[in-house]
């Protein structure tokens, strides 16, 4: 990409080392890393979880966890060694010369403050003498700069009243408030749908044309790298294994690890057509609406599901794709009977589950199991894995010995040893925890699995492993699956058919290859065109 003219490094990291506490899996979280960001350019740090990329970013802002300490090297921002700054100097640096955009905007925003007040607070801390009228004008201008509609009114909104993409734009506006020379963006688009992700990435490119700084962008997605990076740094186990211009790294990577990361990006690989099979679930004309009040106090009705009809065949994986707010997660919750539609039917083996209560509803939830996006939040951190896997079967009357034997079998099936049953959730990586959640769902011997964004937060290599595990288990056990995702590459890989949702409606449904290559709806074509790095 082309930014402003190169005027030298705004960030220079020289041989940085960060020490881990005794007993960690390695002595150094970051081992002699050297990274440079130049004005008017985007440098991407790429690597898997545990590679040291996020700790490197945290070290720039002196936001390291207490157990991690600097063990060597220098960090210079605009030529100034920030490792020598006292606490007052570091406070002056943060937000002023260096700003950060985090992965999850909702946790970066104060839910008890209006949007305008949160941006205004940046000026109150760093520019306390700036006149109120000038601050207000600057706040409105920043909201306009990041492409938010009606910025004069958007200032009055609360964080929960905005979409994920809008919240991320607010966080970017806060980061740009004082026109810093360096913006650090840590996985800023991971949880966003493809069109919102494309908009945020385009926004970063546009901001470089209007602001004089540089951007350090941390990601595990080589699609993002292909879309925006000028320079790429690849990290593994705390070390920089490869660094160079983005075009060179993407076209001719020299390190095997870089090649493995690029190869792990889901390719456009489609399944052969499945033989026809009877439906296990039939959805008929579902309607579900929410009544809402926006930040202007206006009442409205949002149609989350507006006449949705589809079938899921036995042994089939059906993808549900669409932007945030399209209704795909609401449809998933309705299948689980977590939501009650105002009209329509969800027929499972001919029985309408929307009308079930009590024992019949509990039996339905045994046959239809859900796997959530965040495996850690969906597990009780105080329970051992063995208890997590056996509590469901025990609740439904399975003898303890049989439930325990099944848990051991499932641990082997998902690639974790039996010794994992005695451990706690925090002792596993994100990918391992998702494997455990898959095992927990399978412990109920379900007919249908509803997987809601189950790989969106995982590294590409771990994501690939989890998708392959789904394929293997589905072939062995024969369950059907509803696979909800905003990642069309993933949908193309694992789904037999894809249903595209927009504003509560299914705008198109068909075989995965037909939808991805020859989609007829304008909305479908726009989603495909928004895939970072292109198809």
pLDDT at 201: 85
Lowest mean pLDDT among 263-267, 358-362, 433-437: 263-267
Confidence bin at 5 (pLDDT 50/70/90)? very low
Rounded-to-integer distance, Cα 348 and Cα 282, Å: 7
CATH architecture of 1-97+181-265: 3-Layer(aba) Sandwich (3.40)
Q: What percent of the chain has pLDDT over 70?
A: 97
Considering only residues 169 and 457, tell me which one the structure prediction assigns the higher pLDDT: 169
Model pTM score: 0.77
pLDDT digits (tens, 9 = 90+) for 124-168: 988 999 999 999 999 999 998 888 888 888 888 888 888 777 888
pLDDT above 50 (res 2): no
Sign, Cα dihedral of 145, 133, 213, 167:
negative
534 versus 180: the higher-pLDDT residue is 180
Q: What is the per-residue pLDDT for 189?
A: 81
Residue 226 pLDDT level (bands cut at 50, 70, 90): confident
pLDDT of residue 423: 92
Domain 279-374+446-529 CATH class label? alpha beta
The alpha carbons of the chain give a radius of gyration, in whole angstroms, of 24
- Most distant CA pair in the chain, distance: 72
Domain ranges of the chain: 1-97+181-265, 105-179, 279-374+446-529
Round to whole Å and give the CA distance between 183 and 25.
Answer: 31
Q: Is the dihedral of CA 21, 27, 29, 31 positive or negative?
A: positive
With bands split at pLDDT 50, 70 and 90, how would you rate the model's confidence at 7?
Answer: low
Distance of CA 454 to CAs 25, 131, 376, Å? Answer: 27, 48, 12
- Helices in 266-357 by DSSP H: which ranges? 328-335
Q: Rounded CA gap, 122 and 174, in Å? A: 7
**Mean pLDDT rounded to a whole number for the chain:** 88
Cα–Cα distance measured from residue 233 to residue 35, given in angstroms and rounded to the nearest whole number:
7
Confidence band for 295, pLDDT divided at 50, 70 and 90: low
Q: Which of 516, 507, 510 is nearest to 487 (CA)?
A: 516
- pLDDT at 475 exceeding the cut of 60: yes
Closest-CA residue to 39 (of 72, 11, 15): 11
What would the mean pLDDT of 171-181 be, rounded to a whole number? 88
Kindly state the average pLDDT of the residues 179-195: 83
More confident residue, 2 or 179: 179
Share of the chain above pLDDT 90, in %: 51
- Give the strand order in the sheet containing 497-502: 368-371, 448-452, 480-485, 317-321, 497-502, 505-511
Q: Does residue 210 register a pLDDT over 80?
A: no
- According to the model, what pLDDT value does residue 29 have? 93
Q: Is 80 exceeded by the pLDDT of residue 447? A: yes
Average pLDDT over residues 36-65: 91
What is residue 533's predicted lDDT score, i.e. its pLDDT?
64
pLDDT in tens, 74-133: 999 998 999 888 988 888 888 888 999 887 777 889 999 999 999 999 999 889 999 999
Instruction: Convert the pLDDT of each residue in 397-446 to its tens digit.
Output: 999 999 999 999 999 999 888 889 999 998 887 788 889 999 999 999 99
Residue 309 has pLDDT above 70, yes or no: yes
Structure tokens at 259: 């090649």
190 pLDDT more than 60: yes
Does the pLDDT of residue 1 top 60, yes or no?
no
């Amino acid at each position: 990409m082309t930014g402003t003219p190169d005027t030298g490094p705004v960030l220079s990291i020289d041989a940085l080392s960060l020490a881990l506490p005794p007993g960690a899996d390695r002595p150094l979280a970051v081992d002699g890393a050297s990274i440079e960001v130049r004005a008017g350019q985007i440098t991407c740090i790429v690597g898997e979880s545990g590679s040291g990329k996020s700790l490197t970013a945290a070290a720039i802002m002196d936001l390291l966890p207490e157990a991690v300490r600097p063990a060597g090297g220098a960090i210079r921002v605009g030529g100034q060694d920030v490792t020598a700054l006292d606490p007052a100097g570091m406070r002056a640096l943060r937000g002023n010369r260096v700003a950060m955009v985090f992965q999850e905007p909702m946790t970066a925003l104060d839910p008890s403050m209006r949007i305008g007040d949160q941006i205004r607070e940046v000026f109150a801390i760093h520019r306390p003498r700036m006149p109120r009228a000038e601050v207000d004008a600057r706040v409105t201008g920043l909201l306009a700069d990041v492409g938010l509609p009606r910025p004069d009114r958007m200032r009055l909104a609360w964080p929960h009243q905005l979409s994920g993409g809008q919240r991320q734009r607010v966080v970017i506006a806060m980061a740009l408030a004082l026109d810093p020379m360096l913006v650090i963006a840590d996985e800023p688009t991971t949880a966003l749908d493809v069109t919102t992700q494309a908009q945020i990435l385009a926004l970063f490119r546009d901001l470089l044309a209007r602001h004089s700084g540089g951007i350090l962008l941390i990601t595990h997605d080589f699609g993002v790298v292909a879309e925006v990076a000028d320079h790429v740094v690849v990290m593994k186990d705390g070390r920089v294994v490869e660094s160079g211009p983005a075009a060179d790294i993407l076209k001719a990577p020299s390190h095997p690890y870089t090649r493995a990361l690029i190869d792990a990006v889901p390719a456009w690989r489609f399944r052969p057509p499945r033989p026809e099979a009877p439906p296990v679930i039939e959805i008929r004309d579902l309607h579900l609406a929410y009544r809402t009040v926006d930040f202007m106090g206006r009442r409205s009705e949002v149609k989350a599901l507006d006449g949705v009809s589809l079938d899921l065949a036995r042994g089939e994986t059906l993808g549900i794709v669409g932007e945030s707010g399209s209704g795909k997660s609401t449809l998933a919750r309705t299948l689980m009977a977590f939501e009650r539609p105002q009209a329509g039917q969800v027929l499972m083996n001919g029985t309408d589950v929307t009308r079930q209560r009590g024992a019949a509803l509990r039996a339905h939830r045994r046959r239809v199991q859900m796997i959530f996006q965040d495996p850690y939040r969906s597990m009780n951190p105080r329970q051992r894995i063995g208890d997590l896997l056996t509590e469901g079967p025990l609740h439904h009357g399975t003898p303890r010995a049989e439930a325990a034997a099944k848990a051991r079998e499932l641990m082997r099936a998902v690639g974790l040893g039996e010794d994992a049953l005695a451990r706690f959730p925090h002792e596993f990586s994100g990918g391992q925890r998702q494997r455990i959640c898959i095992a927990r769902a399978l412990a109920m011997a379900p007919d249908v699995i509803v997987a809601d964004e189950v790989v969106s937060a995982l590294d590409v290599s771990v994501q690939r492993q989890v998708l392959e595990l789904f394929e293997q288990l589905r072939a062995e056990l024969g369950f059907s699956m509803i696979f909800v995702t905003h990642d069309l590459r993933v949908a193309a890989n694992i789904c037999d058919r894809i249903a595209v949702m927009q504003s509560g409606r299914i705008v198109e449904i068909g075989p995965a290859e037909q939808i991805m290559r020859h989609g007829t709806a304008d909305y479908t074509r726009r989603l495909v065109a928004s895939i970072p790095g292109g198809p």
